[in-house]
Chain A
Amino acid sequence: MITFEDVVKIYPGGGTAVDHLSMELPTGKMTVLVGPSGCGKTTSLRMINRMVEPTSGRVLIDGQDVSGQDEALLRRGIGYVIQHAGLFPHRTVLDNVATVPMLLGKTRREARTASLELLERVGLPTEFAKRYPAQLSGGQQQRVGVARALAADPPVMLMDEPFSAVDPVVRAQLHTEFLRLQQDLGKTIAMVTHDIDEAIKLGDYVAILRQGGVLAQFGTPQELLDAPADEFVASFVGRDRGLRSLSFDSAADVPVVPPASSADLILEGGRPIAWRTASGDRAIAGTFTKADSLRIVTDLAISSPVGIAVRVDDNGVCDGIVRHHDLVDYLMERRAS
């Protein structure tokens, strides 16, 4: 657990970067610090590994005040990933990853063996091990950056805009891979981003900061979407927060009716094939399962030419359909309860 206790940071010259910040980042979870530029999110992050010292207040890791610890030793126990990866240009990919194990006194051989395994873990083929950072794409560099941060298996990881320098397609891919990795590893992660969508997608918890380093709201992504604390949070999470909040709700309890109740649905061996419409048959664009979110169901209902979302079981056989007006009723009831 990372604890901020009434932390203030005032830079010489008078600017307040962080203003009486108190929050707890739970162990084994990913907490995303998000806010507009000048909200003190990076300053806050850097106070965890003492790259920045607070003017007053304390930062604790598992109850231990970081200010009492040797800077270099503290940092070797905390993974760090930055924008553009910040890899060492003069070292091969493998030796970049081996950096912290080497600092911790491991032999070169031990450090390299462990690093090679990590490269595979972050999705880089082992033949990349001998390349230099300049020979990699942005996305590949960022993967190496993540591997380097994980190399000494630190319980805590700090990530400063780790995915913002790559294009949207690669970013989405890195997100998915990173979520899978974090599911296995269960690190205590503090991540900074200016992108609220990224925060909501990746964070178990999200801390929204406003200009001047004031904490506006701390909560799960769904709490922020459903119950923004004020105007600032509401506008920051965006006007489509109602729809986005649905991505955190399971579609398991959506009331369905038998597929046979619709004359518009063409099935073949129980599998949904097409819609019968006035202008001819139209292929079905998508289906949902009980494991999907309400957002998917809503999207399917809206985009279907006949206003129906189709549910399938694990074998792809249709076991129910939802009409859009029934879906809206269901959503209204949920909201009311």
Chain B
Amino acid sequence: MIQYLQNNSDTVLAALRQHLYLALVPVLLGFVIALPVGYLGVRFPWLYHPLVNVCGVLYSIPSLALFVFLPVVLGTKILSPLNIIVALTIYTVALLARTVADGLRSVDKLVNEAATAMGYRRTRRLIDVELPVALPVILAGLRVATVANISLVSVGALIGIGGLGQLFTRGFQLFYLEPIIVGIVLSVLLAAVADLIIVLIQRAVTPWARA
């Protein structure tokens, strides 16, 4: 195993780097898109249920099917990392838009009412009161989305770009156990570290939630 790592450190590191990139860029993009989309589901209450349904349908599309289908829609090459990024961004939005909506809906009505009565306008109330109060729920959703993305990237290996997933495909093709084990361990480690980082951020920015 050590021997394998020594001989292939460049390959493994490149795979790890690609894995991180393919998993985290969609998390960021998805988060940025999900915030306004989720807010719409709260601002216009009739939009909430359609939003939840569309998110549910999107999330249920098998990832491999999406990876193969997207080049047709986007006009990208089948090996373009863009396919993976777009696909995982769609999943992230599907997960987080609902979380953002649920988080904002979880804000106590009295708190919103008090904010309005103090003289907050709508936008500032959203930024100063609603989003911070919804943050524990939103960050919980972000943890799920991040871990899900890290595991989904590996599926991309079946179409030729999948970070650590490529270690699995290579191992299977060569009947060679080491890369498979390294791939699995690193994926799990990556997910655990990413999760831990979000938990630490959550503790730092929402000290009141533990009060």
Contacts and interface: CB of A to CB of B under 8 A. Distances in A.
How big is the A interface, by class? 20 to 34
Interface in A118-150: 131-135, 148
B133 interface: yes
B126 interface: no
A83 B108 CA distance: 13
Contacts, number: 65
A82 B114 contact: yes
A72 B115 CA distance: 10
B111 A132 contact: no
B65 interface: no
Interface of B is mostly: helix
A80 B110 CA distance: 12
Interface in A20-60: 49, 51
A73 B133 contact: no
Given A82-B114, A103-B119, A88 B129 contact: yes
B110 A84 contact: yes
A335 interface: no
A26 to B, nearest CB: 23
A134 B211 contact: yes
B119 A82 contact: no
Interface residues of B, number: 20
Q: Looking at chain A's contact residues, is the secondary structure mostly helix, strand, loop, or mixed?
A: mixed
A72 B113 contact: no
B8 interface: no
B119 A51 contact: no
Given A51-B116, A82-B110, A90 B121 contact: no
Nearest to B125: A72
A103 B120 contact: yes
Given A75-B119, A135-B211, A90 B113 contact: no
Given A72-B119, A86-B114, A103-B118, 16 more contacts: A51-B113, A51-B117, A75-B118, A80-B117, A82-B110, A82-B114, A83-B110, A88-B114, A89-B133, A89-B208, A90-B208, A100-B118, A103-B120, A132-B207, A134-B208, A134-B211
